[in-house]
Amino acid sequence: MSQEYLEVFIDESQEHLQTLNDNLMQLEKEPEDISIVGEIFRSAHTLKGMGATMGFEDLAHLTHSMENVLDLIRNEQLEVTSHVMDAVFESVDDLEEMILDISKGGDGKRDVGEAVKKLEVLQNGEEAEASSETAASVEEKPEPSASSQISESFDEYERTVLVQSVEQGYQPYIIEITLDENTMLKAARVYMVFEVLEDIGDIIKSTPSADDLEDEKFDSSFAVTVISTAEADELEQRIMKVSEITSVTIEEVNVDQASEAEKDNKKEDKKEGNESGADSSSQKKEKPAKQDNNNDKKESAGKKGSELNKTIRVNIDRLDVLMNLFEELVIDRGRLEQISNDLNNSELNETVERMSRISGDLQEIILNMRMMPVDQVFNRFPRMVRSLSKELGKQVSLDITGAETELDRTIIDEIGDPLVHLLRNSIDHGIEEPEEREAAGKPAQGTVLLRAYHSGNNVFIEIEDDGAGINKDKIIQKSLDNGVVTEEDLEKMTDQQIYGLLFASGFSTAEEITDISGRGVGLDVVRSTFESLGGTVTVDSEYGQGSLFSVQLPLTLSIIDVMLVEVGSEKYAVPLTAIVETAIVNKNEVYSAHNQKVIDFRGKVVPLVFLNDIFDVPAKNENENDFYSLVIVSKGDKIAGLVVDSLIGQHDIVLKSLGNYLSNVFAISGATILGDGQVALILDSNALIK
């Protein structure tokens, strides 16, 4: 199968898996809402079709079993119990594994026997006996039609009909029709043949009976007796127009012969014949008609379906290349702007301005193209939390806010696993057992809040639980035992820094090691993953009240809007998104509080941060004036004033990393090349706000 199909297959399968998960969660919350089941059914159904087409049989097999169970639920023959949900969720897990395997180049094979069995048990529940019965009868039935010779016997009523029809100028035929052995939905095929025949004649009888044909209780061929004014050839042609018919054999019925052959039985049959004849005639007219009306329900469920946007799928690599090229362009644009300023040629100025405007728009599009809501990552958490809390016997509710917050695709791809780890950590170590919680005067159900929001050039993702919190003494003891810190270090550390030791390698405070989290390889891996993305992770906690893990991630933004400022002879860039405003204050308005210079700014006490002190910038030998230039920056609801020498202005810059050697420079998130070729460092204002 071609790669192209496979990619689309994988993408769409994942979408459907997500829909399955979302809707199943929804269903669990509102088990009465049968319309959701329709949605779930449809996703499973589509997956089945796609899987079968790609030849992933296990996948098709499993989805088929799911479908059967869902169908029962939809028809209100099966109640949505937690038992049922567990089985269905388990199958979805299997499906996920298979799709994952396929996306990794595997063959998607998986032993689905157990999952299928569970589903079948659900499906059969009460009707276990009934279905095994039908299964048995199906196997017995094919025999009558196995003989290839056309032989049909008629009862008296049928003979009478035949004789009469001949008198009226009709010709009776016996037609044997063989379907292609690969035919699926045989009954529908038979139905089509019946329809063709009824068009040009009347069906007197069929073998097997119409009911058996409808139930597909036949091998591949069946016989029909038809009266028609058409020639045999025409009948044959018409029937052959129906697909999947291998052969049609037509014989004219010699009514006399038929009567002769049956004459002997005539007398015995006579009384019975009339009764049963009337019976069977009504049967004969019946086509293999529709079996259930429940399909109508699908329509109403369908309305909930999401609107489809027209999209094309583009490989992320191409977007990366586009981004890189554009970055180069932005640097040249800065240079061009500088040159045109210097030359002061009005036509050149005009053109450059226009170009800047267009490239600004272009930039926005390119960046937005790469942004995705964190929902992409968050949406699988409810499932995870559900199964985890069941496993641990804890009651946990997960509240997600800010799922629409957008992040660069490459970051989104990476944060899933570490976030899972943090969540597991909160549930495993944070939230207590229900009894323990009640004893502590908390509701039995623990709450984990998962929050995402923008701040400055960063996105914050926070995981807050109302669990046991972190036992500081235990951490201190443990980190001393493990030699992570010395007592000397500890004395200088703040509470937060001590909690931060959790992220040091070789740390596990759980009394017993579970397989959920805390194998001792946990949180330091989490930290390094976030750091490799240019982010940080911190933890705060109140013992007995819960803990808060906060992850700070860059928006990506390899091109950002900044305010350029000058400190001494060096230039720094402050991301515009972090800036509240700029201000100039008189030096005599600066007060000292707790060893910290602060100003009273618009009724708020704002701490000052002197950049020349922090970065050890040699002071310019200029006359000191009486004013400070300030850039007021914020992080969440905290603000600070950065003291600089002068404000240069707003620029678009390309964020370049400082490289591997300088990955941990305090309060610097990168560097950029300015239009005139100078390098400016980009401030990480979040690090400067305490």
Partner 1 sequence: MASVLIVDDASFMRMMIKDILTKNDFEIAGEASNGQEAVDMYNELKPDLVTMDITMPEKDGVVALKEIQSNYPDAKIIMCSAMGQQSMVIDAIQAGAKDFIVKPFQADRVMDAINKVLG
- DSSP letters for 543-560: TTTEEEEEEEEE---SEE
Q: Which residues contact 499 (CB under 8 A, 6 or more apart)?
A: 470, 472, 475, 539, 540, 541, 547
Q: Which residues contact 597 (CB under 8 A, 6 or more apart)?
A: 590, 591, 607, 608, 610
- DSSP letters for 90-139: HHHHHHHHHHHHHHTT-------HHHHHHHHHHHHGGGHHHHHHHHHHHH
Nearest-angstrom CA–CA distance, 478 and 487: 12
Q: Which of 28, 39, 67, 432 is catalytic?
A: 67
- DSSP letters for 348-400: HHHHHHHHHHHHHHHHHHHHHHHEEETHHHHTTHHHHHHHHHHHHT--EEEEE
Phi, psi angle pair for 566, to nearest 5°: -115, 135
Give least dist CB 49 to partner 1, A: 4
Tally Cβ neighbours within 10 Å of residue 116.
20
Smaller CB separation from partner 1, 4 or 140: 4
Give least dist CB 300 to partner 1, A: 10
Residues 589 and 600 sit within 8 Å (Cβ to Cβ): yes
Smaller CB separation from partner 1, 290 or 690: 290
Give least dist CB 359 to partner 1, A: 33
Question: Looking at the DSSP assignment, which residues form a beta bridge with residue 638?
Answer: 635
Q: Which of 21, 425, 457, 458 is catalytic?
A: 425
Nearest to 235 by CA among 147, 172, 149: 172
Cβ burial of 104 (10 Å; 0-12, 13-18, 19+) is: exposed
Smaller CB separation from partner 1, 233 or 622: 233
Smaller CB separation from partner 1, 42 or 159: 42
Smaller CB separation from partner 1, 302 or 520: 302
Give least dist CB 102 to partner 1, A: 13
Phi, psi angle pair for 174, to nearest 5°: -110, 125
Is there a catalytic annotation at residue 75? no
Give least dist CB 306 to partner 1, A: 7
Give least dist CB 67 to partner 1, A: 7
Is there a catalytic annotation at residue 454? no
Strands (E), 492-545: 536-542
In angstroms, what CA-CA distances link 189 with 244, 273, 371? Answer: 8, 31, 50
Smaller CB separation from partner 1, 263 or 304: 304
Smaller CB separation from partner 1, 308 or 365: 308
C-alpha of 155 from chain center = 62
Is there a catalytic annotation at residue 45? yes
Q: Which of 16, 39, 45, 458 is catalytic?
A: 45
Give least dist CB 234 to partner 1, A: 16
Give least dist CB 12 to partner 1, A: 5
Nearest to 325 by CA among 564, 558, 560: 558
Long-range CB contacts for residues 453-456, cutoff 8 Å, separation at least 24: 453/401, 453/402, 453/405, 454/405, 454/555, 454/577, 455/578, 455/634, 455/635, 455/636, 455/686, 456/575, 456/577, 456/578, 456/633, 456/634, 456/635, 456/685, 456/686
Q: Which residues bind partner 1 (CB under 8 A)?
A: 4-5, 8-9, 12, 42, 45-46, 48-50, 52-55, 64, 67, 182, 184-185, 187-188, 191-192, 195, 241-244, 287-292, 295, 298-299, 302-306, 308
Give least dist CB 406 to partner 1, A: 25
Which sequence positions are flagged as catalytic?
45, 67, 425
